[in-house]
Amino acid sequence: MLDRFATRLIAPLVDALARPLARAGVGANTLTWLGLALGLCASASMASGHYPLGLALMALSRSCDALDGAVARQTQATDLGAFLDITLDFVFYASVPLAFALADPQANALPAAVLLAAFVGTGGSFLAFAVLAAKRGLAPAPASRKSFYFLGGLTEGTETLATFCAMALWPAHFPALAYGFAALCAVTVATRVAWGVRALSDPPLRRPAGPAHG
């Protein structure tokens, strides 16, 4: 829900930081992998109870995630880069609830499982619609700065990251935050399903056949 506004707000700064990286030859995919490595280190830190360190590493990880797309746009965006970006983001997102489950299994295991199940719903609905949108030739809006059709919802990247930060700041409240965010994810899944039913019920438009050549 907030991704459009957050992107618009930070885009000038991200683009300015990306320019010297692109000139120095730092590749977008390198930043994507670095973002994952920092994100997994953040999750490992939180799993061992070092929440402030985890929060700092998570901030660095998501900075790389913002910069990789900007570097790609200033050099050459590729399908591989888009694939890595979304796939490794999901790996990072899944690692955070797992980290809290490992930190305190008795208190956090069930809410972490519920949150991970909710992530399956939001991720699955997001990717399923993107695949079918590409099949129908639906292009992403230029303002989205995405390489594929981005179906929004109540819980997008900005809200997810804000929730992860709250969990790191107040780890004792992880169960309440996890259940609450899982409920919001369920609303997102429901709205995406409803949107998908409306958007995909009609058959895709077929291009008229060209004239036959003898």
- Residue that has been written with the tokens 């900075």 in this structure: 63
Does a structural domain hold residue 208? no
Does a structural domain hold residue 211? no
The rounded distance, in Å, linking the Cα atoms of 8 and 12 is 8
Contact in structure between 150 and 130 (CB atoms under 8 Å): yes
Does a structural domain hold residue 205? no
List pLDDT tens digits, range 160-206. 999 999 999 999 999 999 999 999 999 999 988 888 788 778 766 55
Question: What is the number of structural domains in the chain?
Answer: 1
Does a structural domain hold residue 213? no
The token pair that represents 2 in the structure block: 């907030």
Does a structural domain hold residue 212? no
Torsion angle in degrees (nearest 10) through CA of 67, 80, 92, 159: 60
List pLDDT tens digits, range 74-85. 998 898 998 999
Does a structural domain hold residue 135? yes
Supply the pLDDT for residue 143: 47
109: domain range?
A: 3-200
Q: Which CATH number is 156's domain given?
A: 1.20.120.1760
Percent of the chain clearing pLDDT 70 (strictly above): 85
How confident is the model over 114-126, as a mean pLDDT?
93
Does a structural domain hold residue 134? yes
Does a structural domain hold residue 7? yes
